[in-house]
Structures are given as structure tokens and as C-alpha cells.
Structure 1
Amino acid sequence: MEPIQIAVIGAGKLGGYHANLAAKLPEFDLVAIADPWESSRNALASKTGAEPVANIAEVFDRIEAAVVATPTATHYAVVDRLLAAGKHVLVEKPITPTADAAARLVQTADKAGVTLQVGHVERFSPALVAAGDSLKNPRFIRSERTSGYTFRSTDIGAVLDLMIHDIDLVLSLAESEVVDVWATGLSVLGGHEDMVNARLTFANGCVADLTASRVSYELRRTMQVITDRGFTAVDFATGKATTVAPTDAVLRGEFNGDALSAERKAELFAGKMFEEVLVKAEHAAPAVNAIELELLDFARAIQTGTSPRVNGAAGRDAVAIAERVLRAIASQPGIAHQYRHAA
């Protein structure tokens, strides 16, 4: 099968990741790096062997697909132009700043018959692979995504920059309509919210508590999931998962702690509880490059005409919930907050 002629639009950090990987993958032929900043595009092009161009229009007739890694505020205009011209697109998250704009892109992609994929890269995390079926049918989800201030993605706040990852993940896990959103947040360094806590309640009874901060002294990318069958802790940074699974006797309601001898209680308290009653296990998947897997999924979707793992509709739905979170923050009295977004 012939390699897909592809360009990367945006020569920043994420664009660099995509370009360096696409240049090495046999599924792609990296044609160009497009960026208005000459020094940025030239530097990345020299590393990858691609042609540096100031505007993607210079190579429009030579590409089949593009990765869009530009500032969020520019996503709609760039992606819409590509889709309308029949180009397949992988756009970094969030797909657009608003759900209305995202919906228009989904319609354009459907009309053109091309692939529209959104870069919610955590869906390709080895930590999710390690967790396996233990995440199915969640009753409660808690996520924490915190980092220091990177001075990137300053055109959006912590909801669209960080929390959007976990919104997408919980939507994919809960598989139910969000019926209620509560949120609060603070703008610390100005312009947009930097710290956010949100609670999503789903029609099927699942509840998700999400925390995001880009002004934290701790780097955390974790999620805990409780189901009727046990507990799972996922660490996206390490790619590992920990499960705690009750024995069949516990699930049948046959465990009676009050009937145990003092000796047996002491034994369980000392550590046997998580070996014999609530069985704890550590799981690790092979180390992988999640962005590489994302690109390979993009290639598969293009070549087979099937949906990517995270299609435009999924990206649209995540932004729709993000907007509800932002509105909930804005409704909180006394919260220092500035809610901005562009169409």
C-alpha cells in the first residue's frame, strides 16, 4: 500500500512530535511542515527532510492528509479548509473552542467523505491497556491532571487545555448522557481559568469528579474508577494500573467481619486483606509511544475507510461538556474567572 502523503501544520512542540514520528513511519510520506514562523518551520523541516512552507496552500495539491497542531483558536479555519478540499485531518485537542464549530467540522468531514480524527492521545495510553476490562460500567470516576505552568496553550484555560482529556475519557467509559454539571475554578495568572474542579453526573447513575490545574507544583495524570466488581487506579504517567477485586464470596455478600476471630482480623489488617479478600494486583503494559499509536490509527482509518478511535463526533461531544463546565464556573458567585472562547 502506498504511503499517505501528509503535512504537519504547526511547528511547535506537538507539531514536532507528530512530524518526527510521521517522517519515520512507513505508512506516511511527510511532504511539508507548514508554519508562519520561518525559523520554526525550517528547523523542523531540516530534522525531518520535509519541505518548509509558510502556508499549507503551497503544497495543497501534493497532500492527502494533514496533522493540525496550531493554536486552538485557529483550528476551525484551518481544518475546515482542509476537509472541504477532501483532505483527511488529525487535529490536536480540543477540536475547536466551541461545540457549534466542532459540529460544523463533523458535518463537513461527513459530506466530503474524509477522516476527521481528534488528538485525545490518552485513549492510546498503555495504562488503559493495562487496566483492561476493569474499567467497564463505572459507578464512580475520579481524575487528577495537574502540572506546572508551561506558558503554552495560553489562548485557552485549564478546561480546554487539560481537563478535556479526562472529559473525553469519562464520556467513553460511562457511555451515558451527562445530566448535570457542577464546577468551580480560579484564574490565577490571568486570562483564563487555571484551576478547576468539576462533577459530572450521568443518566445511568455514574458520577465523575475531575480536577485540573496548570499551576501545580505536582505533575499528576491519574484516574480512579469504581465499578460493581472492584476498584482500578490508572497512572497515565507511568502506564501502570492497580486493581482491587473482591472475591466471589465478598461479591455475594458472604463476608462477615464481625464473625472473624481476633487473630484472623489482625492477620487481615496486617496485609492479608489485599491478598485474600480484596485482591490487589499490579498491571503494566509494554511501553509505547501513544502519539505514534494515534498516527497509526489515523493511517488505518484513512486506508480502510473506517472510523478512527477518536473521531470528530467524540471531539465535539467533549467540547460540549467542556462548555457546560465553563458555564458552571461562570455561574459561581465570587469566583475570579474570565470565560472567553472564539468560534
Structure 2
Amino acid sequence: MKPLRLAVIGAGHLGRIHARLLKQLEEVEDVQLVAIVDPVEANRTAVAAEFGAMPLASHEELYSLVDAAVLAAPTNLHYPLGIDLLNHGLHLLIEKPLAPNTEEADLLVKQAKAKRRVLQVGHVERFNPALAVVQPYVARPKFIEAARASTYTFRSIDVGVVLDLMIHDIDVVLSLVRSKVVQVQALGLAVFGPHEDIAHARLTFENGCVANLSASRCSFEPTRKMSIYAEAAYAQVDFGACQAKIVRPSEELLSRLFDVQGSSPELQADVRENLFSTYLPLEEIQVERGNAILDELTDFLTSIRSRRSPVVCGSQGRDAVAVAERVLAKIAAHRWTGAQEGPVGPLATPASSVLRGPEWAKVDEQTPAPAAPPVAPTPARRKAS
């Protein structure tokens, strides 16, 4: 069997990780890392030399050299690069998000189907073993809370925190709930640039489930946690620490036979002493640590060879983008003062009258400060379907 020839497009942080793991897979899979593509010569040369691949400046040099590619370029390049690579018959793993908007995501999915190519999206948390171990306990979830936060890394700053971090939890929630989103509420704050760096969203589903999602990329404490409340159990997943806990209420509680108001002092004492052993038994589930990105790449290779759909296919990546687009639309429309002329969108306060000169000096108190420019509303986004 001929080895699958692969390239990594984008020699940044994630691209280098993909290159290292593909090189590692060469020892156990019939694959070959052929090329590293990046327009910055220093980046592509360094990564290619480290992993024994060919450095290329343009993806157009790949067409006859490889069978598949991992696209880890900036989000705004996912569509133009992805559609060109699909047109030339390459299988693609595109890092999350699939595209910056639903329109481009739809076109990528459509083209992959037309060309009969595998289109996988890099929603890596689906391969997190901590999520896998709790899924059998939380069928038909009723309420989900997720918090995802990091420090400011200066990566993915071409998009805001919704498409950078929250998109992970949107995808996981959609995979768990399996129902249509009927209502979205959201707000966000820009801290460093024009895009939101902090965001909160509430999703209501057709089946009654509700999900509260929060994301920040300027947090002092990194967090990747999700709490899932289902019909017969509650699960807590720590994606970062790869830990999982399950609480399964006793039959007495599930059957609503526990009389809270009529309970005796003795029963109350028993509940306090045995709350998480008898009434709400808490179990920390053993999680075997793995490498989620490695598992994701292995799934990509298996999907190509077996001609099956990957765990996270293009259509699922598209659905996550559609929900993210609705969240962004609500963030863009949020009015912070309630006044028609007040600040709208992630920029909650008007621009400062501080002069941003080389000395970062304030305007002289004797000189009238220039009026703050009006805050323009964020351009309207295409309504997701």
C-alpha cells in the first residue's frame, strides 16, 4: 500500500504540533510528512528542517506532491486555501473553526462532497478522553455550563474569543444535545483590539435543554471545564486536567420520595454526613490520558483509507460556525446603556481621548481634548440558517 503523503499548511504553534505528531505517526502508520507550507521563510524552514520535510512558500506547489493536508493557517484563509485544495483533490483536516462564517463553511462542505474528499474539522475536545468517559451517563442533557479561559497568547487574534475558544464548547454541546438551537442570548467585551476577548452566551434548544457558555482569553487563570446535568446523572469534565466526576442521585431522590420539609433532625444529620456517599454518590472516573490531537490525526488517516466520515465532519464544523455566528450577531447588537446613541457591540465604552503618541501623554489640560469619535456599530453579519 502506498504511503499517504501529507503536508502541513501553516508553521505556527498548531502547525508545528501537527508536523511533530505526523512525523511520529510515520513510525506506526503508512504515512509520509512531505512538506511544510508557510509564506514566512524563517517559519517554514525551521519547522521543515526539524521534521525532515520540504519547505514550500505556497500551497499551490503541493498539488502533485501530497494526498492530504492539515490546514493550520489563520481563520480568514481557511476558505480560500481550503476550496483550492479541495478543487485539486486533496483530503483536508482544517483547524477550528472551519471558516469565519456560515456561507464559506457551506461552500467548503459542498465542495468536499462534490469531490468525494474527507473534510475533517479540528474540534479536538471531541477526542478528549475525559469527555468520552462521561458520555454514557449524560444522555439527553437538560442543562450544560461551560467555562473556557486562557491568558492572552497573541494567537488567533484575527478573530474574537467566540471563534477562538468558545467554538470548542459550542461543538461539544451540539454533539451532546442533538437538537436545534431556537434562541441565542449573548454579550461580549473587547479588551485588546476590535474583537471580543470575553464572551458569555446562553443557548436554548428545541428539546428544552439550555447551555450557558463563557469564554475569555485575558483571564488570570486558565480553565477548560464543563458541567452536564442529565436525567439521571450530573457530570463534571475538566478538559485541561483530563479528569471526570459523576454524581448519580439515589433512587429515593430520583423518585421524589425524599421529604425535605418533613425530615427529622436525625435524617437531616444523616444527609449532611452521607450526602456524597448515599444520597448523591460522587464518583471520580478513571481517565486514561492520551493525546487528543494525535487521536484526531489518526482518525483523519483512517477516514481517508476507509472512506468513512470522520468523528468531526465538515457538516458538524459548519453547524458550530452557524451557532457562533448567531452568538456574534447578538454581541454586535448589544446596547450597554439602553440608549439609542450609546455604545453597541463588544466596545462597551467610547474611544479614549488620550493621545496615543510615542510618549503616551495625556492631552495638556489647557488644551481642549478632541471629542471622542462616535462608536460605529459592528457591521451586520449574515444571519445563520
TM-score by length of structure 2 reads 0.86
- Paired with 2:165 and 2:191, the residues of 1 have a C-alpha distance of 15
- Paired with 1:144 and 1:68, the residues of 2 have a C-alpha distance of 27
- Paired with 1:126 and 1:246, the residues of 2 have a C-alpha distance of 24
The residue matched to 1:95 in structure 2 has which SS?
Answer: coil
Which residue does 2:339 correspond to in 1?
none
Are positions 1:337 and 2:343 aligned together? Answer: no
The residue matched to 2:63 in structure 1 has which SS?
Answer: helix
Asked whether the equivalents of residues 5 and 31 of structure 1 are also in contact (C-alpha less than 8 Å), the reply is yes
Instruction: Return the offset for 1:254.
Output: 2.2
**Residues 1-150 of structure 1 mapped to structure 2, 5 A cutoff:** 1-25=1-25, 26-27=28-29, 28-150=31-153
Judging by fraction of residues, say which structure has more strand. 1
Q: For the aligned residues, what is the CA RMSD?
A: 1.6
Which residue does 1:153 correspond to in 2?
156
The residue matched to 1:62 in structure 2 has which SS?
Answer: coil
Letter matched to residue 227 of structure 1? A
- Paired with 1:336 and 1:179, the residues of 2 have a C-alpha distance of 22
- Paired with 2:237 and 2:326, the residues of 1 have a C-alpha distance of 26
- Paired with 1:203 and 1:153, the residues of 2 have a C-alpha distance of 32
Q: 2:282 aligns with which of 280, 283, 294?
A: 280
The residue matched to 2:246 in structure 1 has which SS?
Answer: strand
Which residue does 1:240 correspond to in 2?
243
Which residue does 2:179 correspond to in 1?
176
| Higher relative contact order (CA closer than 8 Å, sequence separation 6+) | 1
Asked whether the equivalents of residues 4 and 65 of structure 1 are also in contact (C-alpha less than 8 Å), the reply is yes
Which residue does 2:313 correspond to in 1?
311
Q: Tell me how many residue pairs correspond in the alignment.
A: 342
- Paired with 2:208 and 2:13, the residues of 1 have a C-alpha distance of 39
Instruction: Return the offset for 1:47.
Output: 1.3
Instruction: Return the offset for 1:221.
Output: 0.3
Letter matched to residue 6 of structure 1? L
Are positions 1:324 and 2:326 aligned together? Answer: yes
Asked whether the equivalents of residues 167 and 318 of structure 1 are also in contact (C-alpha less than 8 Å), the reply is yes
Letter matched to residue 120 of structure 2? Q
Asked whether the equivalents of residues 129 and 285 of structure 1 are also in contact (C-alpha less than 8 Å), the reply is no
Which residue does 1:264 correspond to in 2?
267
Asked whether the equivalents of residues 32 and 52 of structure 1 are also in contact (C-alpha less than 8 Å), the reply is yes
Asked whether the equivalents of residues 330 and 337 of structure 1 are also in contact (C-alpha less than 8 Å), the reply is yes
Deviations 1:209-256 (A, max 9, x none): 000011111100000011111211110011111111012232222223
Asked whether the equivalents of residues 156 and 341 of structure 1 are also in contact (C-alpha less than 8 Å), the reply is no
**Residues 76 and 2 (structure 1), Cα distance of their counterparts in 2 relative to 1, 3 Å cut:** same
- Paired with 2:136 and 2:71, the residues of 1 have a C-alpha distance of 32
- Paired with 1:243 and 1:287, the residues of 2 have a C-alpha distance of 18
Which residue does 2:226 correspond to in 1?
223
Q: Which moved more, 1:108-117 or 1:57-66?
A: 57-66
Instruction: Return the offset for 1:129.
Output: 1.8
The residue matched to 1:138 in structure 2 has which SS?
Answer: coil
Asked whether the equivalents of residues 194 and 213 of structure 1 are also in contact (C-alpha less than 8 Å), the reply is yes
- Paired with 1:54 and 1:342, the residues of 2 have a C-alpha distance of 33
**Residues 319 and 220 (structure 1), Cα distance of their counterparts in 2 relative to 1, 3 Å cut:** same
Instruction: Return the offset for 1:266.
Output: 1.3
- Paired with 1:132 and 1:183, the residues of 2 have a C-alpha distance of 27
- Paired with 1:84 and 1:340, the residues of 2 have a C-alpha distance of 31
- Paired with 2:379 and 2:218, the residues of 1 have a C-alpha distance of 19
- Paired with 1:46 and 1:341, the residues of 2 have a C-alpha distance of 44
**Residues 176 and 342 (structure 1), Cα distance of their counterparts in 2 relative to 1, 3 Å cut:** closer
Instruction: Return the offset for 1:42.
Output: 1.0
**Residues 154 and 342 (structure 1), Cα distance of their counterparts in 2 relative to 1, 3 Å cut:** farther
**Residues 301 and 340 (structure 1), Cα distance of their counterparts in 2 relative to 1, 3 Å cut:** farther
Are positions 1:198 and 2:201 aligned together? Answer: yes
Instruction: Return the offset for 1:258.
Output: 4.4
Asked whether the equivalents of residues 98 and 341 of structure 1 are also in contact (C-alpha less than 8 Å), the reply is no
**Residues 248-259 of structure 1 mapped to structure 2, 5 A cutoff:** 248-259=251-262
Asked whether the equivalents of residues 329 and 381 of structure 2 are also in contact (C-alpha less than 8 Å), the reply is no
Instruction: Return the offset for 1:259.
Output: 4.9
- Paired with 2:260 and 2:185, the residues of 1 have a C-alpha distance of 38
Asked whether the equivalents of residues 325 and 381 of structure 2 are also in contact (C-alpha less than 8 Å), the reply is no
Asked whether the equivalents of residues 130 and 239 of structure 1 are also in contact (C-alpha less than 8 Å), the reply is no
Deviations 1:90-137 (A, max 9, x none): 000001101010000000000000000000000001111221312211
- Paired with 1:233 and 1:83, the residues of 2 have a C-alpha distance of 39
Letter matched to residue 210 of structure 1? L
Which residue does 2:366 correspond to in 1?
none
Letter matched to residue 278 of structure 2? E
The residue matched to 2:281 in structure 1 has which SS?
Answer: strand
- Paired with 2:210 and 2:49, the residues of 1 have a C-alpha distance of 48
Letter matched to residue 125 of structure 1? N
**Residues 35 and 342 (structure 1), Cα distance of their counterparts in 2 relative to 1, 3 Å cut:** farther
**Residues 127 and 322 (structure 1), Cα distance of their counterparts in 2 relative to 1, 3 Å cut:** same
